[in-house]
Each structure stands twice: as structure tokens, then as C-alpha cells.
Structure 1
Amino acid sequence: MSGPFVVKTVSKIHPGKAESYRPMVAEFCRLAEEREPRLLVFHIYVSEDQSSEVVLQIHPDAESMQHHLEVMGEKVRETFAYTDFESLEIYGQPNDELRAWLERVSEGVPFTLHETHWGGFTRLGETTAE
């Protein structure tokens, strides 16, 4: 059974940089929404003390993630002035190009790949009370 392609990254926000980083986050989210019509979910959560962030992405498939890297790669690199990558989790089957990318970006950080999807469902949009 094939499921969506899910990405979870955790990064440390450089001390004293959270407030200057926040407008970049807003711009990043706006551009991702504008440039990636197939991207299902994109959220950035920040800890209460603004010392770390978690980025959650849900793509319909690996090709959508590949597209994300192509259209947002430069913006991702700009975030490195504010954050340090700490861990990466992937849920789904990466294609060959993503496997090569994963090898590069996961070097030296905790990385977990969960390729096999045993089941589940995706419910996006508004739900109605029954």
C-alpha cells in the first residue's frame, strides 16, 4: 500500500535570531504555497522559547518532494543563516534523486527512513459533524 511522502525536520534556531528569522518563515510559507500546488501540508512549529523549529511536510508522492527541492532549494539554503539542521525523518519511498539528496543532507545528523506504509488514511479539508 502506498501512502503520502512525509518529511519532518528539526532545526535549532540560532540564539537571538528568532525575531529576524520569523519574516523569512512567513515568506517561505507563502512561496511554498504559491509555487507548489501539489504540496498537501506545510507547517513550521517553533518551541515556546523560540530555540528550535519543526517543519512538517506532506506530499502526495516523492515527485512532489523533488519539486519542492527544485523550486525552494535556494530559500532553504537562506534559512541556514538562522538555523542548524538537527534531524530528519522521512516517511515514504524516495525516488533515486531523493535518495541521493538524503545521503548528502543527512550526513552527520540523526536520520530515519520509514519506507514501508502498512496502512492509514489522509483526511484533509473541513470535516462535518455527524
Structure 2
Amino acid sequence: MDGFIAYLDTSEVRAGKLDELKAAMAELAAFVEVNEPRILAYRVYISADGSTMSVLHFHPDVASLEFHMQVAGPKFSPIAPFIKMRSIEVFGRPTEELVAQLHAKARLLGDAAVIVRDLHAGFDRLPQD
């Protein structure tokens, strides 16, 4: 499926903010589950020492990630006091508009690097519509 796209961001957790971050991310994950029916997976991971958070999600196509940015985007700024985002990586072919939105998110949450990785080789076994 050429349109498949994966997203990974990694953030430093601000000192003393882990519990608030965990609550905010649980709320965000629940919101995404209810409001984004096309997203294939949305996962929040926190390092064993609580210093780093990574958010990983998979989309059947670019439109699904664009929809995520539109629907969940307003939920990002309340998380800013809890993290300093270090990187956003996108695996697939985002549109220029989506890349611009990712850069805006990166600035909002910590002036993170945005890295786009295009598919070179491989396959998937995702269900076809």
C-alpha cells in the first residue's frame, strides 16, 4: 500500500511533570480513539526512568495523518508545559502542507527536528479496503 504512513515523535519529559503528562496523554489517546476511526494504531511510550516519551502512530494513508493533525491538533498546546519535543519522524510520503503542519507542531512543542523518510523497499500486510 503506497499510502501507508507512520509517525514517531520523541520528547524529553520536563522535570516534575511526568504524572501530569501521563494524564494528558491518556486523555489524548482516548480522544484519538473516539474521533479518528481510520487511524490503525496510536501508542504512547514512556522510558523506564520517565525522562522520555515517544508517540507512535500508523495510518493507512496520508489523508489519515492529515485528519489527525486537524482533529487532534488543538489538543497539542496543553501538553507543551510537560515536554520538550526533540524530533518528529514521518515514514512515507507526506504532502508539503502536512510537512508544514508538522514543523508548526515541532515549534509549538520544543523546536524539534522534522525528518521525512521515504520508502526504499519492503512490504506490508495491512488489510486492504
TM-score w.r.t. length of structure 1 = 0.85
Structure 1 unaligned spans of 5+? 125-130
Aligned to 1:57: 57
Aligned to 1:115: 118
Shift of 1:106: 4.7
SS in 1 for 2:81: coil
Which AA in structure 2 matches 1:36? E
Aligned to 1:94: 94
Higher alpha-carbon Rg: 1
Give 1:77-88 correspondences, 5 Å limit. 77-88=77-88
Cα distance between partner residues in 1 of 2:99 and 2:31: 25
Answer whether contact 1:91 1:113 (CA < 8 A) is retained.
yes
Percent of aligned pairs with the same residue?
Answer: 29
Shift of 1:3: 4.7
Cα distance between partner residues in 2 of 1:30 and 1:70: 16
Larger deviation: 16-25 or 49-58? 16-25
Q: Alignment length, in residue pairs?
A: 124
Answer whether contact 2:69 2:101 (CA < 8 A) is retained.
no
RMSD: 1.9
Structure 2 unaligned spans of 5+? none
CA gap 1:20/1:106 in 2 versus in 1, 3 angstroms: closer
Structure richer in helix, relative to its length:
2
TM-score w.r.t. length of structure 2 = 0.86
